[in-house]
Every structure is written in structure tokens, then in C-alpha cells.
């Protein structure tokens, strides 16, 4: 009986190893797989989504949103939860007069197209005045060096 159990274990292990393709991107984003591809994502308008790790194992999200050539918002998310392709947290930013705005609740839904390498982020939030990320969609890729 021990030999049959060992044989079954070896077959299962072999099947799992053969099924893994090293270096290929995941078919979709789940449980922060986007971080395995890259911690920084950008688009042609220099909108950016970055995960910034810290020494204690935690980290924060840094979002750069540029609605125009002259207006730019850096929106950090210090604390967040991530599950089922959804990030939930709170962000703040400095407006054009250098006044702190927020905090604003934000939810970010993630999807990833492995064929094109595009990470799509859909932001939703409070929808109140000053909530600059509410309703924004970003289609980002890994920046080329």
C-alpha cells in the first residue's frame, strides 16, 4: 500500500511540474500576480501604478494620474486590501495649490490581457468633489527601460 501511495504522489508531482511553463505570464491577474510581472506599470500619458515594497514586508501603492499636460496628481494608498482582482483602500493627494485633499475611498478592479501585456485598472470611489480617480480607467504596460 505504501508503494501505491508513493507512486500516486510521484505521478501527481510529475503532472504538476509538466503543466508549469516557466517564464510565461499568467492568463489573468489574481491574488496580486501583477506584482510577479512588474511592480511598475505605465501608459503613454505617463499615468503610473506602482507597488512600493518596504523592509517590513508591507508596502504602499503609488498612483500618478495626469488628466492633462499641466495637471498631475500623485495619489498614494498607504493601507489597502487585495482579493479577487480588487484592491480597496484610501488615498490622498496635493492639489495644484499644494493643499492636501482627501482621504478618499477607492476601489480598483484589475484585469490582465496576457496576449497584449496590458493591465487594466478601473477606479471607483466616493464620487465627491476632489475625488480625482473616480471613474478613471487606465490601460497600462510594463515600461521599457
Domain ranges in the chain? 26-140
pLDDT digits (tens, 9 = 90+) for 68-127: 989 999 999 998 988 888 999 999 999 888 899 999 999 999 988 888 989 999 999 988
Beta partners for 101?
Answer: 93
Pairing between β-strand 86-94 and β-strand 100-113 as defined by DSSP bridges: antiparallel
Beta partners for 105?
Answer: 90
Nearest 5°: the CA angle 89, 95, 100 is: 60
pLDDT digits (tens, 9 = 90+) for 35-52: 778 889 999 999 999 988
Amino acid at each position: 500500500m505504501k508503494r501505491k501511495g508513493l507512486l500516486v504522489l510521484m505521478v501527481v508531482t510529475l503532472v504538476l511540474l509538466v503543466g508549469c511553463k516557466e517564464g510565461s505570464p499568467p492568463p489573468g491577474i489574481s491574488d496580486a500576480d501583477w506584482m510577479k510581472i512588474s511592480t511598475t506599470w505605465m501608459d503613454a500619458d505617463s499615468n503610473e501604478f506602482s507597488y512600493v515594497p518596504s523592509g517590513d514586508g508591507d508596502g504602499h501603492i503609488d498612483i500618478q494620474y495626469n488628466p492633462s499636460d499641466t495637471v498631475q496628481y500623485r495619489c498614494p494608498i498607504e493601507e489597502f486590501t487585495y482579493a479577487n482582482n480588487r484592491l480597496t483602500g484610501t488615498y490622498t493627494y496635493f492639489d495644484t495649490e499644494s493643499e492636501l485633499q482627501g482621504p478618499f475611498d477607492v476601489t480598483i478592479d484589475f484585469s490582465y490581457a496576457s496576449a497584449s501585456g496590458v493591465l487594466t485598472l478601473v477606479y471607483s470611489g466616493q464620487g465627491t468633489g476632489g475625488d480625482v480617480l473616480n471613474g478613471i480607467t487606465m490601460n497600462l504596460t510594463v515600461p521599457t527601460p
